[in-house]
């Protein structure tokens, strides 16, 4: 099979690799139909984080090609969504809704030999607890893109909003205008936010999608200027809930600075060189929740919202290409010429 391979910072190559096979009775093999490039992939693409040489990509949807003997409720030919991590669905953490902390889980696309989603086939461990079967056969290209967004970015934006405790009538601040931040805007409105303010965005194309999905104000400056601007918009109080969707030191500091007393910061940006001021948060009663989104926990309800036409998270894909041009997709996202790149790999 053909697969995208990480060969060092800034270098993504397409190589031939052996087609995955079932190794354990709980495995399945999925033929990938659509995949995409994630903003978190850019951490190692830029050399900021380390990654082993091997297959990459953790967002994919496709058709079940083979199943292990222990896999129930899935059959060859089923069309499925994969979350960005695998999980057994039965351990204490999975039952509590935190599938990314599964006792027998792991993450796709970490430089392994057969678990990268930017490939023609993927081996899925713990398939019964991981894959979500999609009902129906007549799915448009737009709906397929919506379902692909559920593999990570929409689920992660939703996790940020849930972690921040967004409820009806709140003023919500979203720090970050990438695919996750924009999905956070959509998620905040889905949960009933009355007002959504996006901070730190300087790209007009991202402003347009943010407004379409419910953003009321967009603050284009960063740092202390952004904090002052949000305070001005909230009568000096700050936001009722804050979504941190970047993971840098500056973005995290901004989030805690703009949180109103008693607010919760929902963190989903992978932290890099981040420290939290324990004393300042203590005296303002600022809470913090979040982490790797348990996408598998949210996917059934979000899939229903997609199939019912309630949300269209696939609009976040503004670049569509194929596996032959995977390196171009990474470059476009790295240079912020694209919000998120969709990769067509096969037909359903």
- What does the buried/exposed string (b/e) look like for 180-189 if buried means 16 or more CB atoms within 10 Å of the residue's CB? bbbbbbbbbb
Per DSSP, the chain holds a count of helices (H) and strands (E) of 12, 18
- The per-residue pLDDT for range 9-42, each reduced to its tens digit, is 999 999 999 999 999 999 999 999 999 999 999 9
Q: Which residues contact 83 (CB under 8 A, 6 or more apart)?
A: 99, 130, 132, 151, 152, 155, 294, 295, 296, 299
Rounded distance between C-alpha atoms, residue 316 and residue 179, angstroms = 6
pLDDT at 282: 94
Inter-CA distances, 112 with 51, 91, 139, 294, Å: 10, 24, 32, 21
**Residue 95 — pLDDT band, cuts 50, 70, 90?**
very high
> Minimal CA–CA distance to 197: which of 224, 179, 220?
220
* Cβ neighbours of 256 (radius 10 Å): 20
Kindly state the percentage of the chain with pLDDT values over 90.
Answer: 89
Inter-CA distances, 326 with 76, 147, 225, 256, Å: 28, 20, 37, 37
Q: Is the pLDDT of residue 114 over 80?
A: no
Rounded distance between C-alpha atoms, residue 18 and residue 15, angstroms = 10
Query: What DSSP letter does each residue of 173-213 carry, written as one string?
Result: EEE--SHHHHHHHHHHHHTT-SEEEEES---HHHHHHHHHT
Helix (H) / strand (E) containing 123 = strand 121-124
3-state secondary structure of 334: helix
Q: Give the number of C-alpha atoms closer than 13 A to the C-alpha of residue 195, restricted to the C-beta side.
A: 11
**Residue 94 — pLDDT band, cuts 50, 70, 90?**
very high
* Burial of 260 per CB tally in 10 Å (0-12, 13-18, 19+): buried
Inter-CA distances, 35 with 117, 185, 231, 263, 296, Å: 6, 23, 40, 36, 17
For the residues 117-125, what does the mean pLDDT come to?
A: 97
Whether residue 181 contacts residue 175, with contact meaning beta carbons closer than 8 Å, is answered with yes
Q: Is the pLDDT of residue 250 over 80?
A: yes
**Residue 348 — pLDDT band, cuts 50, 70, 90?**
confident
Q: In terms of residues, how long is the chain? A: 348
Which domains, from first to last, does the chain contain?
2-152+294-344 (3.90.180.10), 157-290 (3.40.50.720)
pLDDT at 182: 98
Q: Is the pLDDT of residue 159 over 90?
A: yes
Crossing angle of helices 295-307 and 153-163, rounded to 10°: 110
Q: DSSP class of residue 276? A: -
- The per-residue pLDDT for range 275-324, each reduced to its tens digit, is 888 888 999 999 999 999 999 999 999 999 999 999 999 999 999 999 99
pLDDT at 298: 98
Residue 252 backbone phi and psi in degrees, to 5: -65, -45
Give just the sign of the alpha carbon dihedral 234, 240, 241, 244. Answer: positive
pLDDT at 240: 98
Q: Which residues contact 226 (CB under 8 A, 6 or more apart)?
A: 199, 200, 219, 254, 258
């Amino acid at each position: 099979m053909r697969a995208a391979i990480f060969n060092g910072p800034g270098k993504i190559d397409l190589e031939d690799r052996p087609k995955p096979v079932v190794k354990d009775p709980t495995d399945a093999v999925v033929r990938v139909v659509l995949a995409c490039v994630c903003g978190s992939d850019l951490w190692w693409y830029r050399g900021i984080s380390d990654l082993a040489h091997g297959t990459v990509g953790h967002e994919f949807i496709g058709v079940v090609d083979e199943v292990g003997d222990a896999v129930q409720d899935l059959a060859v030919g089923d069309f499925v969504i994969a979350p960005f991590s695998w999980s057994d669905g039965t351990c204490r953490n999975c039952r509590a809704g935190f599938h990314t902390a599964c006792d027998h889980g792991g993450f796709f696309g970490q430089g392994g030999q057969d678990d990268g989603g930017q490939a023609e086939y993927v081996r899925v461990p713990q398939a019964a607890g991981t894959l979500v079967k999609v009902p129906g056969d007549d799915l448009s290209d737009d709906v397929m893109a919506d379902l692909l967004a559920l593999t990570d970015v929409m689920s992660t934006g939703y996790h940020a909003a849930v972690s921040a405790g967004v409820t009806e009538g709140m003023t919500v601040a979203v720090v970050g205008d990438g695919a996750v931040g924009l999905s956070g805007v959509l998620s905040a409105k889905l949960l009933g936010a009355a007002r959504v303010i996006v901070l730190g965005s300087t790209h007009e194309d991202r402003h347009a999608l943010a407004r379409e999905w419910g953003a009321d104000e967009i603050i284009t400056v960063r740092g202390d200027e952004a904090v002052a601007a949000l305070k001005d918009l909230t009568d000096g109080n700050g936001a009722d809930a804050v979504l941190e969707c970047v993971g840098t030191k500056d973005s995290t500091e901004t989030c805690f600075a703009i949180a109103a007393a008693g607010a919760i910061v929902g963190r989903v940006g992978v932290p890099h060189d981040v420290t939290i001021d324990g004393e300042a948060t203590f005296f303002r009663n600022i809470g913090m929740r979040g982490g790797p989104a348990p996408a598998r926990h949210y996917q059934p309800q979000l899939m229903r919202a997609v199939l019912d036409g309630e949300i269209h998270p696939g609009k976040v894909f503004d670049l569509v290409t194929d596996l032959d041009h995977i390196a171009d997709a990474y470059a476009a996202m790295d240079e912020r010429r694209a919000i998120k790149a969709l990769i067509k790999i096969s037909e359903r």
